[in-house]
Amino acid sequence: MDDALQPGLYIVATPIGNLSDLSPRAADILARADLIAVEDSRVTAKLLQHIGARRPMLAYHDHNADRVRPGLIARMAREAVALVSDAGTPLISDPGYKLVRDARAAGIAVTTIPGPSAVIAALTLAGLPTDRFAFFGFLPAKAGAKAAAIAEAASFEGSLVFYESGPRLGATLAALRDGLGEREAAVAREISKRFEETATGTLAELAARYAEAPPKGEIVIVVGPPAAAAAAGEAEVDAALRDALSRLSPSRAAAEVAAQLGLPKRAVYERAQQLK
């Protein structure tokens, strides 16, 4: 336990709320690292205080990463450098991937200490299919770009996961309802914290629930997969496809109709081939 750590880069996941979720191995690595690259030293100082450790810290965030990275890589050749973010797993909607990329290119040993991440925690709470899911991080803030990103996500035949903040939740749920149609969804808030809450329902129900009263805290939205083509009604699918096929190739027509009706693209494409 007291042996010096081998030089290299250590990716350390930290709690997303409850400090007791810090793993013993994560605590051990943090207590022994020669240097910890942090997003915000005040946040990590509290974590170090929790485990009774004091280690040198260096800020590594979106605004200084390009400038700081080469020096960090050089230090990893002879020292143990840990990377943490303010909460959860580094690199997941947080800085770090370029650090790992450059460390690998420099022949530095990279070790990960897995642990909490809000995307996985929310999937365990939602009660929606988890065999296939796609993670989109934060959607763009502007309405047009947001709708375009949602249209792109619509044809994925699995659950969809988005990070969001309280003030934007209502608008984002409304955009998801408009872009994905009637799907089951969950809003997981303040996971592992005092006011933890998971609300489930259709996108329309959740959009209505949060339209007037934006909740506080950190949020993950999970949306279930598109319903089977039968659910939309074959006549509705055929009518939409006929219209789209008069303007577009079968592949593009299928993508448009699948997004419009919240259906799996593959099934709609097969029907488009039959109709053509």
Task: By CB under 6 A, name the binding residues for ligand SAM.
Answer: 16-17, 85, 87-89, 92-94, 117-119, 163-165, 188-193, 218-220
- Rounded to the nearest whole angstrom, what is the least distance from the CB of residue 214 to ligand SAM in the complex? 14
Q: Is 58 exposed, middle or buried (0-12, 13-18, 19+ CB in 10 A)?
A: middle
- Rounded to the nearest whole angstrom, what is the least distance from the CB of residue 108 to ligand SAM in the complex? 22
Toward ligand SAM, which CB reaches closer, 118 or 244?
Answer: 118
Contact partners, residue 51, CB within 8 Å, separation at least 6: 22, 27, 30, 31
- Rounded to the nearest whole angstrom, what is the least distance from the CB of residue 171 to ligand SAM in the complex? 15
Look up residue 116 and give its two tokens.
Answer: 């909490």
- Rounded to the nearest whole angstrom, what is the least distance from the CB of residue 187 to ligand SAM in the complex? 9
Look up residue 32 and give its two tokens.
Answer: 């022994």
- The span from the CA of 134 to the CA of 122, in Å, is 13
- Residue 192 CA: distances (Å) to CA of 23, 29, 197, 239: 15, 23, 9, 47
- Rounded to the nearest whole angstrom, what is the least distance from the CB of residue 190 to ligand SAM in the complex? 5
Closest residue to ligand SAM, Cβ-based? 88
Toward ligand SAM, which CB reaches closer, 84 or 207?
Answer: 84
Toward ligand SAM, which CB reaches closer, 113 or 188?
Answer: 188
Of 112, 36, 39, nearest in space to 79 by CA:
36
Toward ligand SAM, which CB reaches closer, 87 or 126?
Answer: 87
Toward ligand SAM, which CB reaches closer, 166 or 201?
Answer: 166
- The span from the CA of 18 to the CA of 117, in Å, is 12
Helix, strand, coil tally for the chain in percent (to 5) = 45, 20, 35
